[in-house]
Structure 1
Amino acid sequence: MEDTKESNVKTFCSKNILAILGFSSIIAVIALLAVGLTQNKALPENVKYGIVLDAGSSHTSLYIYKWPAEKENDTGVVHQVEECRVKGPGISKFVQKVNEIGIYLTDCMERAREVIPRSQHQETPVYLGATAGMRLLRMESEELADRVLDVVERSLSNYPFDFQGARIITGQEEGAYGWITINYLLGKFSQKTRWFSIVPYETNNQETFGALDLGGASTQVTFVPQNQTIESPDNALQFRLYGKDYNVYTHSFLCYGKDQALWQKLAKDIQQFEIQGIGNYQQCHQSILELFNTSYCPYSQCAFNGIFLPPLQGDFGAFSAFYFVMKFLNLTSEKVSQEKVTEMMKKFCAQPWEEIKTSYAGVKEKYLSEYCFSGTYILSLLLQGYHFTADSWEHIHFIGKIQGSDAGWTLGYMLNLTNMIPAEQPLSTPLSHSTYVFLMVLFSLVLFTVAIIGLLIFHKPSYFWKDMV
């Protein structure tokens, strides 16, 4: 009788203990899930904006960028949300009518007011960078260039944004910021992090892209040479970005943008007051080659005009006028060989003018009349100027946008001025949010299953003992 009583007490206590343990396990699982989901869910959008005006030689464009404030040191998080092309020529053309600059900038600045929430106007930085058109004006008259910039600054200061100044950037800066932009957007600076470790490692030792920029008044070539000393110190830049060192070659050829190159060619060709194009690709090509002086080179290898150029390395992104001209001519496909591009250019140039006007009725004649020259010039610059070959041509990628952002120097310029590119790699969580939540759920289910099995083992052990016997 006493044994029966003692057995009943043990059974009663065991059931209560197991019930408490089971209930505690369920509460623990629920808490584990709740913490994992709430602590790691995406935070409410907390974004920042930045504005950059690209004051080029032929026109001005305004770009608005946006990024999550809590991730501003991550690569690829900044993206373009708006582009506004200012109606009219470049700011250097306003040298005799500076009082019109304010009106000239109005439409795009008002557009920025609309795109960016009013609550963030005062904390949104505005930068204006002027390129080769203003460099040429400054060479002609520093006083006139300063007068234009002063009026630009006064005009932009009237808006409710955080205006950070207007300046003429150097050709070297233009090349470097273009290189930073495309590699930032392509994710070439990023590193992956191992699971359960805070030590980053590089994937595939990925190489950066070179950058080929073509504007109206200048052209830039920028890339990281492989195992090659940059023999000309003026063409060397050192960057430490996200924990890695880059030795970058860059050069800007002033007056070798497509518009200035055309003026150079016309100045060489002019014999009378009217020049009539004859649509002969080969003659145009030969005439363009005269712009490149290759008669001397004080280094082991040169581009032209005695400028050092290391052997080309890796893939190149060709943007700005490189892209727009070749896109119009339908020559941006990577499947089209250099020989095929040359052949197609010959056919385009040979088309009768009246036929071309009919085929491209929506294009202004001024621009339409220049595409034969511009396309031929691009081929000449890349092949004879920069020494690309039929084999290396396939490494040129004509790029307009990368993930919705224009390829160009403006994004790199803003990233630099807002200190969003750290020298060292920022620490990041080893797992993504989705992976973390998946593992939390998986391990919680495992815990829950083990707890249930444990309850069954202790509550009805006879089932398990029968199997074992």
Structure 2
Amino acid sequence: MPDPEGDDVISYLPSRPIPPIDSPDLPAVDIDIPNIDEDEDDELPPAYTPHRTGPASFEDDTDPSSTVHCTSPVAGKPLVQYALMLDAGSTGSRIHVYKLHNCASSPALEWEVFRQTRPGLSSYSGRPAEAAESLDELMDEALRVVPEQLRGCTPVAVKATAGLRLLGQAESAEILQAVEQRLRTRYPFQVVEDGVVIMEGKDEGVYAWITANYLLGTIGSSALPSHSTYAVLDLGGASTQIVFEPSFSTPDSALEEGDHKYTLHFSGRTHTLYQHSYLGYGLMQARRHVHNLVGFMWDFGKDGGRGLAELEEVGNPCLSKGTRRIVELEVDERTNVTMLGADVGSFEGCNRIVELVMAKDAICHVKPCAFNGVYQPSILDTFPKGGILVLSYFYDRITPLLPPLASEHTPRTLPIAAIADLATRVCAGPASWAENFAHLGEEVLDELAGRPEWCLDLTFQHALLRLGYEFGPKREIRTEKKVDDVELGWALGATIAMLDGDLECSI
């Protein structure tokens, strides 16, 4: 996913020395990371990826109204089921057209058609009718794909993200009402009850968990008992989410009640999930917090703080050595300063700053806590060996620095400690890039030069996993954008949840 802000303010430093970040001194950080290194003999779950058979796309499907997987469905279900999910994001709207079959107890995905359009619904402030009409291009694609005789039994839902909420309750409600009205009157599909809504953050994380575990074969009728479910960690720009299925070894221990608890009934099984969305701990917000903290300490070290001058040069260990970036700070007032990696950029120095931002020592009202005072069951005790899937900015920052996979079906895995190693090499600057990443191509080197904060990004991701969530350094993570050519994210999970409800057909 692309950065919400540009990274194009970059040049190499002049030869004159820049004062080190040690002036002023950084405060010592006394934070104990629990000793949660796994035993090397512990067997980690296999990186399992099921492969779908049959037609892989709409273009390959010679009979979109039938299926090659069986001739009769489970009782009470149609043989073939289509479903439409519209993602109304802040920058654009997208439609996912899914074809599934009901040959087993839970619907099985055959293929997906995806299309998007810009701008998003929130761009039509005060023009609800135009907002609704902007989705016609997407719905016309659904008409092209879904066979005519199956449209009356095809559910459709629209889930808007937080961008629409920024317009205010009244205005966003008008747009959603106009969208629902147009879908009901213009198209033959079935708008589900409460199907045109602004999605809550907790639902987004849980739906992403359903998508990932469904595609990886750990939930649903094809799930094998030997495969535990994956934890899913999604890192966006403004917030980060964690969802996993904890297990408790004693009858008197259980997941505390609260908004973090989510009970999912799917394919004859009940999954009790822990979920939390940390607003303010997305990657772009983490950058902002780190820069402001560095600016504050730099200013405070000069006569106790006199304010930062416009474009004043500030040493920042979270920028790669030999790079610079103009950054807007919010210390006393908004000021543009020139952040310099100079000779101070390093993983170790940046990690000291990031540890302060993580607020590991915040008051914990319900124990145990992860960070920022938020309750979370102990990973070591309740999720010691399950797989971990990291998405979005994790994928965007880690995968360009890894060697190509042996095949498209090879899972992309690495130990968490490898992120610290990547961060060390990235933070060390251009000479290190040439030594460690030149074999990946000029495009990677150019991208590193264009993103001085890649050092910060990787350091924050490592701290989030190790210090924040308390995963051990040897713990394997998996990062993907797609599984079996289906995009990971909340849309498929929301669709599966929608199909699990009572659907009405209009014939």
TM-score of the superposed pair, with normalisation by structure 2: 0.61
Tell me if structure 1 keeps the 8 A contact 2:245–2:271.
Answer: yes
Give the superposition deviation at 1:51. 1.4
Mapping of residues 220-259 of structure 1, within 5 Å = 220-227=241-248, 228-259=253-284
Q: Decide which moves more: 404-413 or 56-65.
A: 56-65
1:315 alignment partner, one of 387, 391, 395: 387
Unaligned segments of structure 1, at least 5 residues: 1-39, 193-201, 423-469
Rounded Cα–Cα distance in structure 2 between residues aligned with 1:281 and 1:95: 45
1:351-390 aligned at under 5 Å gives the runs: 351=429, 359-360=442-443, 368=451, 371-390=454-473
> How far, CA to CA, are the matches of 2:133 and 2:220 in structure 1?
42
Which of the numbers 397, 419, 423 marks the counterpart of 1:345? Answer: 423
| Distance in 2 (alpha carbons) for counterparts of 1:412 and 1:421 | 16
Deviations 1:392-436 (A, max 9, x none): 2x1x211222223222221121111222799xxxxxxxxxxxxxx
Partner of 1:293: 359
Displacement of 1:189 in angstroms is: 2.8
Measured in 2, the distance between the counterparts of 1:400 and 1:242 equals: 25
Query: After alignment, is 361-370 or 245-254 more displaced?
Result: 361-370
Contact 1:72 1:420 in 2 (8 A): no
Aligned residues: 365
The corresponding residue for 1:273 is: 335
Higher helix share: 1
Match of 1:442 in 2: none
1:150 maps to 2:177: yes
In 1, Cα distance between the equivalents of 2:285 and 2:91?
11
CA distance in 2, matches of 1:346, 1:66: 45
2:156 maps to what in 1?
A: 126
Shift of 1:290: 3.7
Residue 62 (str. 1) matches residue 85 (str. 2) = no
- Cα distance, 1:277 vs structure 2: 4.3
Distance 1:104 1:258, change over 3 A: farther
**2:91–2:118 Cα contact (<8 Å) kept:** no
* Deviation of 1:100 (Å): 5.5
1:107 positional shift: 4.1
Amino acid at match of 1:146: A
Residue 71 (str. 1) matches residue 96 (str. 2): no
SS in 1 for 2:335: coil
1:303 alignment partner, one of 366, 370, 373: 370
Q: Which residue of 2 aligns with 1:43?
A: 71
| Displacement after TM superposition at 1:273 (Å) | 3.0
Answer whether contact 1:211 1:221 (CA < 8 A) is retained.
yes
Residue matched to 2:144: 114
**Contact between 2:237 and 2:285, CA under 8 Å: does it hold in 1?**
yes
The answer as to 2:401 corresponding to 1:401 is no
- Secondary structure of the 1:360 match is helix
Residue 216 of structure 1 corresponds to 237
Q: 1:299, CA displacement in angstroms?
A: 2.6
**Which 4+ runs in 1 deviate beyond 6 A?**
353-356, 361-367
Q: Please state how far the C-alpha of 1:300 moved relative to its aligned partner.
A: 2.6
Partner of 2:398: 326
Q: Spell out the pairing of 1:438-449 with structure 2 (5 A cutoff).
A: none
RMSD between aligned residues:
4.0
CA distance in 1, matches of 2:339, 2:270: 49
- Which of 179, 182, 200 in structure 1 is aligned with 2:209? 179
Alignment CA distance shift 1:163-1:277 (3 Å): farther
Task: State how far apart, in whole Å, the 2-side matches of 1:343 and 1:249 are.
Answer: 30
Q: Which amino acid aligns with 1:341?
A: I
Is the partner of 2:256 in helix, strand or coil? coil
TM normalised by structure 1 equals 0.65
Give the Cα separation in 2 of the matches to 1:415 and 1:226: 24
Are 1:236 and 1:247, in contact at CA under 8 Å, matched by a contact in 2?
yes
Shift of 1:52: 1.1
The separation in 2 between residues aligned to 1:348 and 1:286, in whole angstroms, is 17
The answer for the alignment partner of 2:499 in structure 1 is 418
Q: What percent of counterpart residues are identical?
A: 28
How far apart, in 2, do the equivalents of 1:177 and 1:162 lie?
21
What secondary structure sits across from 2:357 in the alignment? coil
What is the deviation of 1:43?
2.7
Q: Which runs of 5+ in 2 are unaligned?
A: 1-67, 73-77, 296-328, 406-410
Q: Secondary structure at the match of 1:414?
A: helix
Q: Which is further off, 315-324 or 334-343?
A: 334-343
More deviation in 254-263 or 366-375? 366-375
**Which amino acid is 2:486 matched to?**
S
Deviation of the 1:310 alpha carbon: 0.9
- Would you say the 8 A contact 1:52–1:62 is kept in 2? yes
